[in-house]
Structure 1
Amino acid sequence: MPKNKLLRMDNIGIVVESLDEAISFFEEVGLNLEGRATVEGDWAGRVTGLESQQVEIAMMVTPDGHSRIELSRFLNPPTISDHRTAPVNALGYLRAMFTVEDINEMVSRLTKNGAELVGEVVQYQDSYRLCYIRGPEGILIGLAEELGNE
């Protein structure tokens, strides 16, 4: 019997309080708003196990069209816990990592718009420059700049 194979990863979901702030942040990173809608009804609750739910979502897509982040704002039921400011060694979702062309320019642009550099920009061998950034609501992302072989 043939083995079922993975076709692709569609998206990562992040629950937020303000879709507008999260959309603006990810647009500044370089993602595009692909669509925005309200998801509700019996079928949606059966998928998530939350029964009756109403969720406003926004789908953000990377410029190459291959990766997406689904931002969700729960209208019903209300959110029950908050892990947004957990340290990087906490269990569960940690961060999404993005490869950028110029990490210094990206960090400068994001911090001018209210994001905070978590530690510092560091270089890993001759391969990458890396950092973590906290955006609105404590959303944690990683940035990586690939270094060329000089």
Structure 2
Amino acid sequence: MPLAIVRAGPADLDDLALLFDAYRQFYGQPADLARAREWLRSRLRLGEAVALLARRDGAAVGFAQLYPIFSSVRTARLWVLNDLYVAADARRSGVGRTLLDSAAAFARSDGAAGIALETARDNAAARALYRAAGWREDATQWYSLDFAAGVH
């Protein structure tokens, strides 16, 4: 079963939205396919994100979504691998690793200085995948203000 990774475009939006909705549900959000589709459509149309779609025998089985950021200190573009999801029936078959490698190849070809991601410390499966793919963990501390939660 050959696996193909493509940069998602308008023709891929319906398949991508199904996976994105499942991804959001995985993280405790309610199912909302229309919201997922509109979010993706806007990000891709405005050039605010790049989505890589994994297809096996034509079926969409996973995706990675990257957002650009910029480092003032490095005076360079970086990419954040914000979303990575593989459908449950396609896990442990190399889809996640292929998406990671494809995301890194995309960032390199874009001339970026690097690529970063963040995941929960208790997400052992994801952390093992990232380490196996050559990613390294660091001690950077992220802080946030959650405006929806009424903080500041």
Instruction: Please state which band the TM-score falls in when normalised by the shorter chain.
Output: under 0.3
Could you state the TM-score of these two structures normalised by the residue count of structure 1? 0.26
User: When you count helix as a share of all residues, which structure comes out higher?
Assistant: 2
